Structure formats: structure tokens, C-alpha cells
Structure 1
Amino acid sequence: MVSVRGWLECDEEQLARIKEIVTADDPESTYSGGWAFPARQYNFVKWAFYGADIRAVALEWFEDRLRRIAEIPASFQDEEYDERPRGLFLVSHEVDGMSEWRVRDGVLVIGRPEGDYRYLDA
């Protein structure tokens, strides 16, 4: 089993695209239920969260969703600031330990945790 938990921040247009990507899966799919979108979002930044324990064989499914989300373009261009979706996910594998999945700059970067998240490693 793999424990996946994390968040994305984006704008309203990007949130709509994120919802399209994650709801394109069968709504009865076990792992799609891990997505959560606050009913009441505040200010300009919008949020999407994911939390679930999934089978290791489904990790590729989750990675594909995050890569597609990372590719969502900025709603408007700003030369000083990257306005694409960004976020952080901690992925704890029973055998392989924890990894950090960062959505930023239009890509998904998977690596060893840069922070001290050992207390979350289940």
C-alpha cells in the first residue's frame, strides 16, 4: 500500500480543468474518491486536496493525473511569476519509504523529501 496526501493551488479556471481531469475517471473508481475540493474557496487562490491509501499498482494512475494537471497552462501571462498550478504531495510506500512529488513549472518532479516529514511516514 501507498499513502498519498497533498494539495494543489491554482486559479478558478485551472480548478475547473483539474476537476475535469479527476472526474473523467469512473466516479465509482475507488481512488478517485480521494480528491476533495472545498465548497467555499476564499480569495484568488483555489485549492484541491488528495488523500488516500492506494495499492502500489495504482500509483501510476495517480502520477498520470498529476502530470496532466501540471501541464495546465497559466490563465494569464505574468513574466515575473509562474501562474501554473503548483502543489506538494507526500507519497509513503510500505517498502520504498517516502517520496516528495512537487507540481511546479508545468511538470511533476519526484524525489526524496526536502523537508523533515518523517513523522508523517506511515
Structure 2
Amino acid sequence: MGVFVRVRGWLECDDRQLGQVREIVQADDADHTYSGGWAFPPRQYNFANWVFYGAEMRSQSVGWFLDRLRSVARIPASDDDNDLITGLFVVSHEVDGMSEWQVRDGTVRVQAASPAYRFLDE
């Protein structure tokens, strides 16, 4: 049957970066990938934009998703504050356990998940 991985998280970005995130996501065929797990709220509030993701995927697709996330993380700052895209993803692998993917400083840092997130897999 295969090994499954549950990916859930969000990104925070500015208006211009949001457009670039949409372009990256829309470049994939939603019928043949897990790109349909992205959610862009129809209305954003105040100063930041939010993008959410949630999907349970086969383990062989995790590399594809991580590549997309790294492309998003590399989107340059577009305002005077020099803010890059930030985000947090909690990834639960049926065999390898839980990890935490931090989107910051133009990259995705993968590390063991905080024990505080363990309740998500109970």
C-alpha cells in the first residue's frame, strides 16, 4: 500500500511575494501532484498574507513538495523591511516519525519536531 506522510503548515509573506508563491504553486498540475493541498484565503487581513498547506501524501512525493517549498523560500524580499518569507510545517512520516520544517532566511531548515507537536499524531 505504501508509506504516507502528513504535511501541514503555513507561510507568511507580503503582497508581491504572495503573487510569486501562487505562480510556483500553479505551475504544477493539481491533478497529478499534491499541489491541490495549498489554500490561499480569499481575503487577507492587515499587514501580512497567509498561505496554508495540508495533505497526506505518499512518501515518494515528499521530495517534490520540499523542492517546491525551497523555491518559495528563495523568493527575495520585496519591501524596504527586507522581510523574507517565513513559515512552519509539521511533517509526520509513518515510519520515520515527525519533523519540523522551518521556512526562514531563504531556506527550509529540517529538524526533529518539538515534542509539543506530538499530540498531532496521537
What is the TM-score normalised by the length of structure 1?
0.93
Give the equivalent residue in structure 2 for 1:86: 86
Which residue type is aligned with residue 13 of structure 2?
C
Which residue type is aligned with residue 12 of structure 1?
D
Aligned residues with identical type, % of pairs: 60
Give the equivalent residue in structure 2 for 1:106: 106
1:44-59 counterparts in 2 under 5 A?
44-59=47-62
Give the equivalent residue in structure 2 for 1:37: 40
1:11 aligns with 2:14: yes
Deviation, structure 1 residue 30:
4.0
Q: Deviations over 1:76-122 (max 9, x none)?
A: 243xxx50100000000000000000000101000011351000125
Deviation, structure 1 residue 28:
1.7
1:63 aligns with 2:66: yes
Q: Structure 1 residues 40 and 115, CA, compared in 2 at 3 Å: closer, same or farther?
A: farther
Matched residue count: 119
Q: Is the 8 A contact 1:97 1:121 kept in 2?
A: no
Deviation, structure 1 residue 63:
0.3
Give the equivalent residue in structure 2 for 1:116: 116
Q: Is the 8 A contact 1:11 1:45 kept in 2?
A: yes
CA distance in structure 2 between the aligned counterparts of 1:4 and 1:113, rounded to whole angstroms = 13
Give unpaired runs (5+ residues) of structure 1. none
Aligned Cα RMSD in Å? 1.2
1:20-35 counterparts in 2 under 5 A?
20-35=23-38
Q: Deviations over 1:14-38 (max 9, x none)?
A: 0100000011001322411100000
CA distance in structure 2 between the aligned counterparts of 1:115 and 1:95, rounded to whole angstroms = 17
CA distance in structure 1 between the aligned counterparts of 2:9 and 2:107, rounded to whole angstroms = 16
Query: Post-superposition, which runs of at least 4 consecutive aligned residues in structure 1 deviate over 2 A?
Result: none
Give unpaired runs (5+ residues) of structure 2. none
CA distance in structure 2 between the aligned counterparts of 1:29 and 1:36, rounded to whole angstroms = 17
The SS at the match of 1:116 is: helix
